[in-house]
């Protein structure tokens, strides 16, 4: 079904759902109603073949309706983390020997089941993560894409294992094969609680590794649903061990564990650097250098020169800044506009922003809540900082609703070294800066410790050519928004403090979870 003459069929991105069609609206509403009937349930840890209910629970709530409990998820202590490590180590001995094409087949099957239940998975994100329908649908589509893409990549790599074009030498048969690393810790974020969780986890396991999956504390139910799906397709027990828990307890413990071979992390710069530091310290009994794959956020920006399509640029700025309330590592939280068109673009941005309505994600409002009280308080603090660093032209305060709602906020005339131009806010706050010309605009764009995504709007080919060389970020887009990377189309990962430039969804990604072994035989 998934293979043609022993080869995986060509990868094609999962299409997004058109919710302007009445049948798709009805299907989404039905999925939301179905999911609501399951709210408040308890979810166990998955440790090998055991399902473990612990007394301590993570209480997941709806950020758009804080009185609504999504689920209660068991929390692992160090004791359960040790048990999960033992299970993962034991399973690795057999899982690494499973043929790569067989490992890939589990991903193909899981992708097909998720495709059949696409709206149901999206509904969980609407309620647990506060995404509107389109944002949730894109998240689910990306999760499907990751499984489909990485399954094909494993098939491709297994073929290379047989036919790697090494230089030939008389009297020897030489072969380079890609073998798995061992047991890894996977720590996904809450903002793409399905797509990134699925991508990080399945890339590791299809490569032959076993994992300890520690989901984000604000979105553990979605992760539990993914783990249930992998069990449904028959993935051997112990390949994925599901252990939600406190990062300061089991996260630090596992990062320092001598048997952990790699850590795959997506989240904040601060936590990523902490993981990198702890992983670099060699524990007693450790016989390898741990590998860290980290994506740590950004302070992304959109540069607009005077030759650009100004309407197109304004639309991209608004979409990049306020999509999912600015809670994307790729979010365009800075707009840098040359002075000749600054006022025009700013006016267009303000007009488009004024049309954004906030409310319950399940009712599909354009703007929903931020994820939790901690984020809410932090973003409000940055709004106040911004009022002292520039000119408040939109928002700047709380929004109505029984949840963590904030107004889309725009601070104009911000100087390049301002905190809101330099620090990641991870919320609906846009800083707008004026540049004397396009070259200064690029200099301002580069003046940050991050380097994840960026956009350059211009009709001048010479300027575009220079921007392609000079704008320092992992994903640079020309005349389009800086969010919305597609698996296989836009391999994703950043420079500097944005992480290890891992390029998720690209042909190099699985190599991060493997090691190359050369065998040479004299004949």
- What is the maximal distance between C-alpha atoms in the chain? 77
Question: Rounded to an integer, what distance in angstroms lies between the CA atom of residue 239 and that of residue 109?
Answer: 16
Given the residues 120, 148, 153, 295, select the one marked as catalytic: 295
DSSP state for residue 324 in the 8-state scheme: G
Please indicate whether residue 329 is annotated as part of the active site: yes
CB 294 within 8 A of CB 499: yes
Question: Rounded to an integer, what distance in angstroms lies between the CA atom of residue 107 and that of residue 203?
Answer: 10
Question: Rounded to an integer, what distance in angstroms lies between the CA atom of residue 418 and that of residue 300?
Answer: 15
Given the residues 329, 362, 424, 482, select the one marked as catalytic: 329
| Cα dist from 180 to 108, 231, 249, whole Å | 20, 21, 27
Q: Which residues pair with 433 in a beta bridge?
A: 336
Stated as kind and residue range, the H or E segment containing 180 is strand 172-180
**CB-based contacts of 384, cutoff 8 Å, min separation 6:** none
Q: Which residues pair with 69 in a beta bridge?
A: 61
| Cα dist from 246 to 57, 254, 272, whole Å | 11, 11, 15
Question: Rounded to an integer, what distance in angstroms lies between the CA atom of residue 74 and that of residue 45?
Answer: 6
Taking alpha carbons only, the member of 298, 411, 441 closest to residue 349 is 411
Helix axes 220-232, 118-128, angle to 10 degrees: 160
Residues annotated catalytic, as ranges: 295, 329
């Amino acid at each position: 079904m998934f293979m043609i003459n022993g080869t995986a069929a060509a990868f094609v991105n999962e299409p997004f759902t058109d919710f302007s069609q009445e049948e798709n609206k009805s299907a989404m509403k039905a999925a939301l109603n179905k999911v609501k009937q399951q709210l408040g349930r308890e979810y166990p840890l998955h440790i090998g073949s055991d399902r473990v209910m612990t007394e301590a629970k993570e209480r997941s709530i709806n950020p758009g309706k804080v009185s609504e409990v999504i689920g209660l998820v068991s929390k692992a202590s160090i004791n359960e983390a040790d048990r999960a490590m033992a299970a993962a180590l034991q399973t690795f001995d057999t899982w690494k020997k499973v043929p790569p094409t067989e490992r890939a087949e589990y991903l193909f099957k899981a992708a097909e089941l998720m495709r059949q239940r696409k709206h149901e998975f999206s509904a969980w994100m609407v309620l647990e993560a506060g995404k509107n329908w389109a944002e949730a649908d894109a998240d689910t589509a990306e999760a499907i894409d990751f499984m489909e893409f990485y399954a094909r990549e494993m098939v491709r790599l297994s073929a290379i294992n047989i036919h790697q074009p090494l230089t030939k030498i008389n009297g020897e048969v030489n072969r380079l094969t890609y073998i798995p690393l061992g047991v890894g810790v996977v720590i996904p974020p809450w903002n793409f609680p399905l797509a990134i969780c699925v991508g990080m986890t399945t890339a590791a396991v299809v490569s032959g590794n076993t994992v300890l999956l520690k989901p984000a504390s604000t979105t553990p139910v979605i992760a539990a649903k993914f783990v249930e799906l992998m069990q449904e397709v028959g993935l051997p027990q112990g390949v994925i061990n599901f252990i939600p828990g406190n990062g300061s307890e089991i996260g630090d413990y596992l990062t320092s564990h001598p048997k952990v071979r790699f850590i795959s992390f997506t989240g904040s710069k601060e936590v990523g650097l902490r993981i990198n530091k702890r992983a670099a310290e060699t524990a007693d009994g450790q016989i390898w250098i741990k590998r860290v794959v980290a994506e740590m956020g950004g302070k992304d920006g959109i540069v607009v020169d005077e030759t650009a399509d100004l309407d197109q640029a304004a639309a991209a700025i608004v979409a990049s800044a306020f999509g999912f309330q600015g809670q994307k590592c790729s979010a365009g939280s800075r707009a840098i506009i040359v002075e000749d068109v600054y006022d025009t673009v700013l006016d267009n941005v303000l007009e488009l922003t004024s049309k954004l309505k906030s409310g319950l994600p399940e009712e599909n409002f354009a703007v929903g809540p931020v994820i939790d009280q901690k984020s809410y308080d932090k973003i409000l603090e940055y709004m106040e900082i911004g009022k002292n660093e520039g000119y408040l032209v939109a928002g700047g305060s709380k929004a109505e609703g029984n949840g963590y709602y904030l107004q889309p906020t725009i601070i104009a005339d911000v100087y390049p070294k301002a905190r809101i131009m330099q620090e990641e806010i991870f919320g609906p706050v846009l800083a707008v800066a004026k540049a004397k010309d396009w070259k200064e605009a690029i200099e301002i764009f580069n003046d940050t410790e991050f380097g994840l995504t960026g956009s350059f709007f211009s009709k001048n080919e010479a300027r575009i050519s220079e921007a392609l060389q000079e704008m320092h970020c992992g994903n640079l887009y020309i005349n389009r928004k800086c969010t919305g990377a597609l698996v296989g189309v836009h391999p994703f990962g950043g420079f500097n403090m944005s992480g290890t430039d891992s390029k998720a969804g690209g042909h190099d990604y699985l190599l991060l979870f493997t090691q190359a072994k050369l065998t040479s035989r004299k004949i």
